[in-house]
Amino acid sequence: MISVYKFKSKFQQLLTPILIFFHKNKITANQITIASILLSIVIGFLFWNATCSRWLFLSLPIGLLIRMAMNALDGMMARTYNQTSKLGEVLNEIGDVVSDVIIFFPLLIFQPESLYLIVVFIVLSVINEFCGLLGKIVGNERRNDGPMGKSDRALILGLYGVLMFFGVSISAISNYVFGVLIILLLISSFVRLKKVLNE
């Protein structure tokens, strides 16, 4: 399945100098995770208020790129410097779900014509992450398979922010866009469950 997640290892290599810097300054994996959650709240707040200034739409591509980096760094920090913990896992899983809901919720303001589809999209995003978590419960590892994982959703929302900043409206095709995203989320969840059951 094509997914941004496929590029995770290369992305992590680019972040190695930052990882070393953080470790030297005694920044822990859990601190990075908490900072990522707080960043998501800020992104959601700025996105919500983008009606005041379209410059705030840039909080999506910029903020989500930083969030992706922080999400990668907390895992790298935990594995590389033996900082894995139950608290870290809880923060990661709850943080990802809460962050997604907060960041995607303002779409209801900007694309009211697709209100119900957006609600379904957000609910399926939560279910998709739950399907991935089942990999740890039933099998041995968390599943990140499928064409509409966390990184893919971040990429799409970042692109949406860029389009809105430049005044490009998707209202005419909004229902089709979210319809396709919902289908991809269903496929993603199905693939993850299938992988879990085949372990």
**What pLDDT score does 145 carry?**
85
Q: ∠48-146-181 over CA atoms, to 5°?
A: 40
In 56-114, alpha helices (H) = 59-80, 86-104, 107-110
Residue entry with tokens 């290892």: 9
Q: What is the DSSP letter of 146?
A: S
pTM recorded for the entire structure:
0.91
d(CA 131, CA 105): 21
Which tens digits make up the pLDDT trace of 115-168? Answer: 999 999 999 999 999 999 988 888 778 888 888 988 899 999 999 999 999 999
71 by DSSP, 3-state: which? helix
Q: What is the CATH number of domain 4-198?
A: 1.20.120.1760
| Long-range CB pairs of 14-22, under 8 A, 24+ apart, other chains included | 15/69, 15/72, 15/73, 15/76, 16/76, 18/69, 18/73, 19/73, 19/76, 19/77, 19/80, 22/73, 22/77
Cα 14 from chain centre:
19
d(CA 101, CA 119): 10
User: Any idea where the domains of the chain sit in the sequence?
Assistant: 4-198
What are the residue ranges in the chain where pLDDT is below 50?
none
**What pLDDT score does 141 carry?**
83
Helix axes 150-165, 59-80, angle to 10 degrees: 150
